[in-house]
Copies of this chain bind each other. A is one copy, B any other.
């Protein structure tokens, strides 16, 4: 059992924070409730992002970038939306050394500003569907924060689509929910349950909200991907209308869906143990760590060479396998093993001078340790 990690049984919340600290995944930022994602944590987010992004593109979605700042009166155009998000907003009142005429809100989500742009871009049914996603940061002022799970600023993707018919919008809503399910199960190895949110829990302004939720080790459910059928609420508020196939002016039907850095929190709470992080191979930024063990320079070069050979052979077998050879000389082998265990690397290979002679190696799987 790792000395730098509180056992789950003793204090589950502290265990969670200790795993993050030991894995050097994230720190709190100087601004209350905000987060610094360190390189080891960010590599996990990059892996998630690249796989999810591919799934979005395979279903015809494209990426774009919408602004961080939203005029206050935009937020007010959809009644439920402003009521839901106003208490969580960060407000910019000064810019360029002057007080602004109208306060600006840092986006807590972008339905309003994207709705405004869609009203300009969409004229006819030929412009539909619009299938746009963005990867960005958003801000929701939080009183009680926890790294990854609930932070005032977080990173996410928000998809925003516009459709000709109610049926298409509902299909899209469920299609993206299914992508979240597949992603969580196949890449993160997290079994999830798909479901619809109650009236009180749904997204402010949505017709209906669906989510995927998973059971964490403390027996609590964690929501980690949501998909909203927004009906015509935002279309009416932002006048997103179009000329349909019969030459009638109609409102579009919109959806939005998002997944965030919270997924990293879910990943930690699903797989990790009292020794630290455990990462599933498909999402691990490094899948194999090879540790050469040596006592002198000759052994060092022998084991290093053998480690290179193993690495090359593995890469020949498995395309795009990420391997790290830990040749640093400032840590003892046991400390290196410990490091890679706490980083959650799925497979660890140890090679000493005797292994070189026998052309064998010790292989350890992190998940069944």
| Interface set of A (CB-CB < 8 Å, partner B) | 27, 29-31, 34-39, 41-43, 45-46, 62-71, 74, 86-97, 103-104, 106, 113, 116-117, 120, 126, 132, 136-137, 139, 141-143, 152-153, 155, 330
- Is the pair A86, B91 in contact by a Cβ cutoff of 8 Å? no
Inter-chain contacts of A87 with B (CB < 8 A): 96-97
Q: What are 10 sample pairs from A and B whose C-beta atoms fall under 8 A apart?
A: A30-B71, A30-B113, A31-B70, A34-B69, A37-B64, A68-B153, A69-B139, A86-B97, A89-B96, A126-B330
Chain B residues near A30: list those with CB within 8 A: 67, 70-71, 74, 113, 116
Which residues of the other chain, B, contact A95 by a CB distance below 8 angstroms?
89-91, 141, 152
Contact in complex: A132, B92 (CB < 8 Å)? no
Taking the closest CB of chain B, its distance from the CB of A122, in whole angstroms, is: 13
Contact A64 B92 (CB under 8 A): no
Main secondary structure, interface of A, reads mixed
Chain B residue nearest to A142 in the complex (CB): B96
- From B34, B88, B117, B330, A27 is in contact (CB under 8 Å) with B117
What 10 A-B pairs come out closest when comparing CB atoms? A96-B141, A37-B65, A39-B62, A91-B94, A29-B67, A34-B67, A90-B95, A95-B141, A93-B93, A31-B69
A70 proximity list for chain B (CB < 8 A): 30-31
Q: In the complex the two chains form, what is the Cα distance from A296 to B116 in whole Å?
A: 39
Report how far A26 CA is from B137 CA in the complex, Å: 20
